[in-house]
Structure 1
């Protein structure tokens, strides 16, 4: 487990990170969310040792994160960092050797990753000859080639079309299933919602929310339900126990006031006729994010 504890960082007189604490568990995907300038990239750079914290600690499996420990991490920065005139497979294999792999293992891992990421046909091309989306996939391969125990990805889905997104999602889920800890940032909240097990939200250099997806839904969600009936649902507007959020003929979304039961509303609907569906409305990650920041 990666543990970030009370990490702070200043730039001149500006505090960029203020007592930042969160965990990234083994075998789980953790989405790291925040607006531009919120402190996500600074936090990632501190974890990787690119920047030093001005307070707090970062540990991996209970041990302080030193350079030998970081050799077991994989990192994909938001800015593309590969050599544009170097061939794709040659470059990824070379990076694997830099992380301590022997030549045979580095080449085998490279071939496997390029195949998984649907880049096998471009293995001999220079990076600059690839589309931006394929360059992004090559960067993901570079972060994975040495079989890291912790994977840190800064905006990994940027520039990917829907097919490429699905390919990358499959690869990342496979790594998590093998026990790899994955921390990734993204502005694409719908993708984060599909992929992550846990969520950490940072705003103004402070952690404003963290936990499992369902835990955050329970914490930030309201008692909101969707009712679909045979006839018009307009009677709900006059019901003293609810507040209507959205209504369209026979369909209504409403919140139940504190102290009242959703079952009371269901029984009231049944007394008026057929009920086609009655379901709780789960808050989206976007709604949670807006409330948390």
Structure 2
């Protein structure tokens, strides 16, 4: 979730830059719409809505393509809700961050009986890196683009960040680059090439801390970035699945939440998939006990 939240922060903080990248237009009349207009439980934490004049840019950053309901149906559902509220053009873009061979990342439309709904899909590992170097805001995403020499790519990103003149922007872009690079690069290499102290001072880092996603990351900055990121990811995923289960079944007992927080990252990922088959808290307990 830290990866999706990082992209959400970048897109909302530097909205005109993302509009220029994805729509090819330069506009200062860009506003961020509240995602609460999308009713639960369909709304995703990584949902981003940017309004440009009389047009909406709907972005979804996805680390993995697995979703229930499936992403094509979600995009149709979002479009229907947004169009009913605003009656304007809606450009929908799903951006997959982590390379995968899953056929799901190639789905660009929802099709059922007489219903057809299309949306754009960007697979970051297929994108040329050069356009992302033309805008400092997009440098974190450059770490995920196509390259015959990934290490050289990360070095180039680090060099471009190092010459940014505005301190606050440099800290934030550096932090975002460190987080997103974790989807592709070894943590030790990231620490070697990117300045760790910039990450600690960044708004992104502080924002993730406030959301309770990186208690482990805080420890990791003093004990080792790798350990911290792992712990932070584990706690973030545990908090997310607890929030989802609470919405479905009501307040969970402390004993249940403690068991969930003790799960490893692979176990949490399995629980994320398994919970769609649960009909009650009893099913959840049976799964935890097994």
Flag the structure with more relative contact order, 1 or 2, with Cα contacts below 8 A and sequence separation at least 6: 1
Q: TM-score, normalised by structure 2?
A: 0.31
Higher strand fraction (1 or 2): 1
Q: TM-score, normalised by structure 1?
A: 0.31
Tell which structure's C-alpha radius of gyration is larger. 1
Higher helix fraction (1 or 2): 2
